[in-house]
Amino acid sequence: MAFSDETLARLRADAAEIVGRYPKARSALLPLLHLVQSEEGYVSGDGIAFCAEVLGCTETEVKGVATFYTMYADRPAPDYKVGVCTNTLCAIMGGDQIYSELASHLGAEEGGASEAGGGHGGITSPDGKVGVERIECNAACDYAPVVMVNWEFFDNQTPETAKQLVDDLRAGVPVRPERGPGRLCTWKEASRVLAGFGDGQAADGPPAGSASLVGLKIAKERGWEAPES
């Protein structure tokens, strides 16, 4: 195995904690895959071997699961994965245009673009920092068109705001999601949260964005409320 002894010891401790959450160890496989992805940025052969060792199953079984789910990358992933929703509602509200403009924006850069793994194809910036791909509906339709960066919400986007976002990510300029933490996680850090290890940012950001509050605001203005018990 290519993990250093030190890394392996740390991963084993984390893995034991994950396995301990479940009545049956095999249930830990999805979070374990998130864990190994948090280490390497993708699910490598070593990551697969590690999961198989922890669960006492074959590497083939682990690989069969890892390849079923689109969130596990099968090759080194960029630090920031930009996902443009191009499911119907967002596509029509502008997601299709945002994606095509972002793609040519990145593709026009020196060195051209390369294919990223996972999701709907997509392209990666020549410096390997930022990948852009099409994603399916991410349950933020009232903020359409929606762009996600490492699974944080960037609401009501336009081609201009999305290009600025990508430029900022490449230049290392801090960006923050409208409804999310103060500091945008890298792809690896986000994967660790998905494995069940909090990053201390849960209390950051507002409880809700403006669209989530449209109905509540009207109800308050008009004195509408649920009846008393």
Residues 145-204 that bind another protein (CB under 8 A): 145, 148, 150-153, 156, 158, 177, 179-181, 185, 190, 193-196, 198-199, 201-203
Out of 10, 58, 69, 182, point to the residue binding another protein (CB under 8 A): 69
Out of 4, 5, 24, 171, point to the residue binding another protein (CB under 8 A): 24
Out of 17, 49, 53, 89, point to the residue binding another protein (CB under 8 A): 89
N- to C-terminal Cα separation, the chain: 62
Q: State how far the Cα of 21 lies from the Cα of 16, in Å rounded to an integer.
A: 9
Residue 56 touches another protein, criterion: CB under 8 A: no
Residue 74 touches another protein, criterion: CB under 8 A: no
Q: Is omega for the bond preceding 78 within 30 degrees of 0, making it cis?
A: no
Residue 8 touches another protein, criterion: CB under 8 A: no
Tokens of 126: 């020549």
- Of 8 and 141, which has the nearer Cβ to another protein? 141
Q: How many residues bind another protein (CB under 8 A)?
A: 87
204-208 contact pairs (CB < 8 A, 24+): 204/180, 205/177, 205/178, 205/179, 205/180, 205/181, 206/179, 208/179
- Of 2 and 224, which has the nearer Cβ to another protein? 224
Residue 101 touches another protein, criterion: CB under 8 A: no
Q: State how far the Cα of 32 lies from the Cα of 194, in Å rounded to an integer.
A: 10
Q: State how far the Cα of 222 lies from the Cα of 13, in Å rounded to an integer.
A: 55
Q: What is the dihedral of CA 39, 70, 153, 161, to 10 degrees?
A: 100
* Smallest separation (angstroms) from another protein to the CB of 24: 6
Site for another protein in 36-55 (CB under 8 A): 55
- Of 80 and 151, which has the nearer Cβ to another protein? 151
